[in-house]
Structure 1
Amino acid sequence: MPVPPPERECHCLRCEPPRWWRRPGTRDAANVRMVGTHGWAVTGVFGDPAGEWAYSIGLWHTFGSPELCLVGVPHQYATRYVNTVAGQIRDGDPLEPGRVRTGVMGGHHDTLGIAPVHDSWYPRLFGAAIDYYQRPPFPMVQLVWPDGSGRFLWDPEVHDGNRDRQPSLFLPLDQAAAPWQDR
């Protein structure tokens, strides 16, 4: 596995010992082990009334890539799709702003947009990543699926149902749709 270069800050549990006031738990140990073995881990979140999501942990440490999240898709699928894109990154296909990913999900959701996540969302959605990295910075991007007409959340003509099922994480939390803002 590549070692993080000096120009990239990484404060993860693999690079720095835990802060004196914090005792890493079982989840942290599992993430450290997964990142050490595979380069990343994926956390799936389910049972939340707003919806389900999954996100990566370790891409920043291992590859210098932003972490990935996919929101509004059942967690068992979201984890698979996050793993697929993480594998593409591992295989030399880095994320690029404004670029889309294809061949990930199949069907009319086969194209995913990429948008940076506003930092106001981190505490609400990415607790295991915050614990792993111990403190910022660690960038996170949202994999955004289109509506049935191929429009993404940032398109003013996107179907409202698409906005209800996946929040616009590139906007500050206080501008989010109600089910996600209230979680």
Structure 2
Amino acid sequence: MTEEERDAKALNDVNTYGCHVLKVLAGDSLPQFAYSIGIEKTSRQPDLLVTGLKLEVGHWIINEYNRRVREGETFVPNQPYEGFLDGFPVFFSPMLKDHYAEHVGWGLWLHNDDNFRVFQLIWPDTSGLWPWDPNATAYYRRAMPLLCEPLGISENPAALSVKPVEAMPMDHALDNKCHTMCICCEHVFDGDRPILYICRDFDGDDDVPQYLCGQVDHFSADGGRILHFSHLKENDPSILDPWLVPKGAAFERSSISDAWSETDIDA
């Protein structure tokens, strides 16, 4: 197959199936891995990298992830998910761009830059140990390198609770813009209601995500509160990070224990 034919097949797979899967054999310093391209373009969700597992297993996991994404499921970073490895949960962690060139080269080709997102699949060994566990073997750690921030995730996240959050000074928020800044409604700010609706407007230069209760009985149109995203994340780890909410996108859920699903943005 010529280079032109390979490129054409990749683009056809993206247009037909929502992604194209590439498989890379192990090298001197890297385990074998499989990764997708196109999911960001077709579903506005991160692509996926699977390291260390058999290539056909990694291929299947990527296709299953793509299927669930195309059916409307939104995967929350660093939360446990079932249905990918029999008998074990897995996590999806945002991959650091420092590793893009070595692991997702075709993604750089498709997007013509690194302005796209990739999840790394984090899977346990057969004893249920994770790569940050001090008892994990060197063999497993080589197969499951952390290409994301090591977070020491728990398999059993604590029950979520709603509590008041702390606002940040307006001048500090505007200096940091969307990297640290977000808006929540007064009900979320006061701890009266959980976050059930997240959106980011099409228009506006500030590009600030909004974390709202999802109801319409707000006291005024100016009742929003500007605060540091970390305060909301500390209270509710299940909310979507700002980088998972593109401009013009909205996500909702029925309760704090339900999964997020994409919806039409409110006018």
- TM-score of the pair, normalised by structure 2: 0.51
Aligned partner (choices 22, 32, 45) of residue 52 of structure 1:
32
In structure 2, the partner of 1:92 is 72
| Residue 36 of structure 1 pairs with residue 25 of structure 2 | no
Change (3 A) 1:59 1:126: same
- Structure with greater strand share of residues: 2
User: SS in structure 1 opposite 2:83?
Assistant: coil
Letter of the 1:27 partner, please give it.
Answer: R
**Deviation by residue 1:50-94 (Cα, 9 ceiling, x = unmatched):** 321111111100111011010011212111111111111111211
Change (3 A) 1:42 1:67: same
Aligned residues of 2:23 and 2:33 also touching (Cα < 8 A): yes
Letter of the 1:70 partner, please give it.
Answer: V
RMSD: 2.0
Aligned residues of 1:28 and 1:128 also touching (Cα < 8 A): no
| Residue 66 of structure 1 pairs with residue 66 of structure 2 | no
Q: How many Å apart are 1:163 and its aligned residue?
A: 1.0
Q: How many Å apart are 1:48 and its aligned residue?
A: 2.7
In structure 2, the partner of 1:16 is none
* C-alpha distance in 2 between matches for 1:133 and 1:102: 30
In structure 2, the partner of 1:102 is 82
In structure 2, the partner of 1:27 is 6
Aligned partner (choices 168, 178, 181) of residue 146 of structure 2:
168
Letter of the 1:143 partner, please give it.
Answer: L
In structure 1, the partner of 2:201 is none
**Deviation by residue 1:26-61 (Cα, 9 ceiling, x = unmatched):** 332211111111111111112534321111111100
Q: How many Å apart are 1:148 and its aligned residue?
A: 2.8
Q: How many Å apart are 1:103 and its aligned residue?
A: 1.3
In structure 1, the partner of 2:114 is 136
Q: How many Å apart are 1:118 and its aligned residue?
A: 0.9
User: SS in structure 2 opposite 1:44?
Assistant: strand
Letter of the 2:67 partner, please give it.
Answer: G
Letter of the 2:41 partner, please give it.
Answer: H
Change (3 A) 1:146 1:47: closer
Letter of the 1:32 partner, please give it.
Answer: L
In structure 1, the partner of 2:210 is none
Aligned residues of 1:113 and 1:152 also touching (Cα < 8 A): no
Aligned residues of 2:46 and 2:119 also touching (Cα < 8 A): yes
* C-alpha distance in 2 between matches for 1:120 and 1:52: 18
- Structure with greater helix share of residues: 1
Q: How many Å apart are 1:158 and its aligned residue?
A: 3.7
Q: How many Å apart are 1:144 and its aligned residue?
A: 1.0
If asked which structure has higher relative contact order (CA below 8 Å, sep 6+), I would say 1
Aligned residues of 1:46 and 1:74 also touching (Cα < 8 A): no
Percent same amino acid at aligned positions?
Answer: 28
Consecutive unaligned residues in structure 2, runs of 5 or more = 151-267
